[in-house]
Amino acid sequence: MSLEGILREVELADNVTVIAGGLQNPSTSIEADKKKNEVALKYLFDTKQFKDKADFEANTLPQDRPAVINTTFERIPTLAYENALTQFQKDGANALKDAKGYRPSLLKLASDEEASRHASEFLTKKDKKFGGLVALYNQYEGINALVKAIDAGKDIDPKIREQLVDRAGEEKGKKAFDEFRAKGNTDAYASAAAAITKISTIARARIDNKIIKEGVQIEMKNIEGKMKAINPNYNQLVAEGLGDYLVDLSKSSGTEKDGKTPVSLRVPQMLYQLEKGYGIGSREFKDVYKKK
């Protein structure tokens, strides 16, 4: 099964979770109940438990039908996750690739501590010089997030801004910052936070967002240069390492804190969130199933 097929399985589980949420809301419970019946019956037909509605009604007693539908509806998420996981376990590495290589969506996993650590270890084994790529990538994306926040007109975190604000005059701060920028020596900055701290140490003044952006972009360029020096195709390497984390996790025999749920079932859910941009059950029933 392709990744698209795996995602369809998880989407079914997501839809059931969304409908279950709709059942709890008085304003959507009636529509959600209709949708619950529709989804459960379709699942029974798709899995060949019954041929069609006529077959269902012919082989169940009227008083038993609600229970059959409810039980089926409740079981769908677990069955869908298990089916998606089974398919992924067969050929996970290839499922994570498209025509151009490893899917870019995998890079979103870099911020996950466990995934990041695994990817770093994987790349180190591949070639020692690749070992620091994931950390550099996370530093780059951390700064990029700050730049995007500035571009969007969002306020910078007060704790960060405190590092950039000083009692000295603004012009003095800008002058000091210009001197720092002219030197172009950013090798010592290991992250966005470090870059900002360095700027504040030198400037010790109030600096506006434009100046902050210019400063951190110097660090972005520096980090990107380091990654390219290690390997021009660094994005693919990082994605490969993160993809191996998912493949490895899918084979895990461990369980969640409840002692029952396999940790491997995280994989299809993680893939879904990476590709869709939202998690299981994170959407509202009224938004997903709008009245026509």
How do residues 130-140 score in pLDDT, each as one tens digit? 999 999 999 89
| Residues facing residue 102 across a β-bridge | 97
pLDDT digits (tens, 9 = 90+) for 236-290: 999 999 999 999 999 999 999 999 999 999 999 999 999 999 999 999 999 999 7
Q: Cα–Cα distances in Å, from 202 out to 183, 205, 224? A: 12, 9, 24
Q: Is residue 103 part of a domain?
A: no
Where does a domain end: 230, 263, 279?
A: 230
**Cβ neighbours for 156, distance < 8 A, ≥ 6 positions apart:** 146, 149, 150, 164, 209, 212
* Cβ pair 118, 111 in contact under 8 A: no
**Cβ neighbours for 196, distance < 8 A, ≥ 6 positions apart:** 160, 163, 164, 212, 215, 216
Q: Is residue 177 part of a domain?
A: yes
Residues 134 and 170 placed together within one structural domain of the fold:
yes
Could you give the 3-state DSSP secondary structure of residue 273?
A: helix
Q: Is residue 164 part of a domain?
A: yes
**Of the ranges 77-86, 149-158, 269-278, which one carries the lowest mean pLDDT score?**
149-158
- Backbone angles phi and psi of 98, in degrees to 5: -120, -165
Type of residue numbered 206: R
Residues 222 and 168 placed together within one structural domain of the fold:
yes
Residues 278 and 210 placed together within one structural domain of the fold:
no
Q: How many domains does the chain have?
A: 2
Type of residue numbered 37: N
**Cβ neighbours for 37, distance < 8 A, ≥ 6 positions apart:** 69
Q: Is residue 16 part of a domain?
A: yes
Spatial separation of the C-alpha atoms in residues 178 and 174, rounded to whole Å: 6
The domain of 24 spans 3-95+252-288
Residues 151 and 219 placed together within one structural domain of the fold:
yes
The whole-model pTM stands at 0.80
